[in-house]
Amino acid sequence: MNRRDFFATTALGGAASVLAPTAGFAFPSAVLNAIPPARMKLSFKPFTLELKHPFGVSVNTRSTTPIVLTTIEYGKFKGYGEASMPPYLGESQESVMKFLAKVDLSKVENPLELETILSAVDAIEPGNTAAKASVDIALHDLMGKIMGQPLYNVWGFNKAKTPNTVFTIGIDTPEMVRKKVQEVDPQFKLLKIKLGRDNDREIIEAVRSVSDKPLVTDANQGWNNKERALETIHFLKEKGAVLIEQPMPKEMVDENAWITERSPIPVMADEAIKRLPDLIKMKGVYHGVNLKLMKTTGLREAHKMIILARAFGMKLMIGCMTETSCGITAAAHLTPMVDWADLDGALLSKNDAFKGLTFVDGKITLPNAPGIGAVPR
């Protein structure tokens, strides 16, 4: 019996016929055959995202975030993407646009061949993770639009399984922290509190004086003594913290692992794990990882990291930079696969250039439109 006969005479044959294309569902090749061949075109422009409140983390405070907005066109289809560059991460509008000028998509024949295209983009130069993410996001948006399906459907995720987002309270005076928490407390189920300067306990007490919501806490590498860090984590657990992000500098691998071994709540890597190889290097050092598209080079690699992290038994969070609703909505399509989401980045801004995901009582609600579903305002 040859292979073909085997499939025809077994139960698998039945399964195969169930999976065969039908009139109601267009497979990519059929979709592509139905649209006239076109030349892919990448364009990009700088944009400054203005923040509602100056945003403080352990290393700095700022009131704007430089962004580069990208568009990839293929015939009548248009995919949108973005790069967000908080200054401490080393990329700038200038470096992103310089990188994007080297991306030539004009010879791509199949716009759905994301593995091939994105591997080639990644190989142009090392680093430039936000610049690469801006191509990745626009390509995923374009793919969904060509296929006529929202991204969560392309991946096979259940959109009802999106988690609540946390809302982030940046570092500030205890009085301002109290005021900010009061402002947002009714709308969100979890709050994220930035720590790592010298007034952590005071900040937490200020939060607790006005809210009893569970807390996601983030030291942003701000602690430098492992025993004291662990003591603070026990205090945080007593005060209702559900996790702690990046307690100590990423270079202090043994110290972070020491804390993870003893911590009463999950210890999540953020700065320590950017891309897939970091996940392998840092295996066992943290309980989990906070993935952000601007670190992972976009959705493609973030998706692979989710699968690998799960295989390692790790917890997962999807986070963001301060971004427009384009990048945030893109990341939101991955959230049915993770434990926590920190996707408030667009809510912190005054001039969001896109309309996309919404929050219903803090729960991430994905748009139904094809692709990412983020529309320019």
Please tell me whether residue 344 binds Mg ion under the rule CB under 5 A: no
Q: Which is nearer to Mg ion, 131 or 321 (CB)?
A: 321
Please identify, among the stretches 174-182, 190-198, 201-209, 218-226, the one whose residues bind Mg ion according to the rule CB under 5 A: 218-226
Q: Which is nearer to Mg ion, 151 or 348 (CB)?
A: 348
Closest distance of CB 335 from Mg ion, Å? 16
* 51 CB burial (10 A radius; 0-12, 13-18, 19+): middle
Q: CA nearest 356: which of 73, 137, 48?
A: 137
Cβ 271 vs Cβ 245: under 8 Å: no
Q: Which is nearer to Mg ion, 122 or 245 (CB)?
A: 245
Closest distance of CB 102 from Mg ion, Å? 30
* 15 CB burial (10 A radius; 0-12, 13-18, 19+): exposed
Task: Tell me the C-alpha distance between 68 and 170, whole Å.
Answer: 24
Please identify, among the stretches 29-37, 172-180, 264-272, 325-333, the one whose residues bind Mg ion according to the rule CB under 5 A: 264-272
Dihedrals φ, ψ of 277, to 5°? -65, -30
Write the DSSP string, 300-323: HHHHHHHHHHHHTT-EEEE---S-
Please tell me whether residue 255 binds Mg ion under the rule CB under 5 A: no
Q: Which is nearer to Mg ion, 82 or 245 (CB)?
A: 245
Q: Which is nearer to Mg ion, 245 or 344 (CB)?
A: 245
Task: Tell me the C-alpha distance between 306 and 308, whole Å.
Answer: 6
> What interhelical angle do 114-123 and 129-147 show, nearest 10?
160
Residue whose CB is nearest to Mg ion in the complex, by number: 270
Please identify, among the stretches 101-109, 137-145, 245-253, 354-362, the one whose residues bind Mg ion according to the rule CB under 5 A: 245-253
Please tell me whether residue 270 binds Mg ion under the rule CB under 5 A: yes
Please tell me whether residue 218 binds Mg ion under the rule CB under 5 A: yes
Q: Which is nearer to Mg ion, 245 or 255 (CB)?
A: 245
Q: Which residues contact 171 (CB under 8 A, 6 or more apart)?
A: 56, 57, 58, 61, 194, 195, 196, 197, 203
Closest distance of CB 7 from Mg ion, Å? 49
Please tell me whether residue 122 binds Mg ion under the rule CB under 5 A: no
Closest distance of CB 57 from Mg ion, Å? 8
Residue 83, phi-psi category: left (phi > 0), alpha (psi -120 to 50), beta (remainder)? beta
- How many positions of this chain bind Mg ion (CB under 5 A)? 3
User: What tokens were used for 56?
Assistant: 């403080």
Closest distance of CB 219 from Mg ion, Å? 8
Please tell me whether residue 301 binds Mg ion under the rule CB under 5 A: no
Please identify, among the stretches 4-12, 266-274, 291-299, 366-374, the one whose residues bind Mg ion according to the rule CB under 5 A: 266-274
Task: Tell me the C-alpha distance between 223 and 196, whole Å.
Answer: 6
Dihedrals φ, ψ of 92, to 5°? -140, 170
Sites for Mg ion among residues 7-66 (CB under 5 A): none
Task: Tell me the C-alpha distance between 300 and 318, whole Å.
Answer: 14
Write the DSSP string, 154-170: HHT--GGG--BBEEEE-
User: What tokens were used for 70?
Assistant: 């990208």
Closest distance of CB 290 from Mg ion, Å? 6
Task: Tell me the C-alpha distance between 180 and 168, whole Å.
Answer: 10
DSSP character at residue 352: -
Q: Which of 172, 245, 301, 323 binds Mg ion (CB under 5 A)?
A: 245
Please tell me whether residue 73 binds Mg ion under the rule CB under 5 A: no
Closest distance of CB 154 from Mg ion, Å? 28
Please tell me whether residue 342 binds Mg ion under the rule CB under 5 A: no
In single-letter form, the type of residue at position 85 comes to M
Closest distance of CB 207 from Mg ion, Å? 17
Please tell me whether residue 172 binds Mg ion under the rule CB under 5 A: no
Closest distance of CB 30 from Mg ion, Å? 43
The site for Mg ion (CB under 5 A) is made up of 218, 245, 270
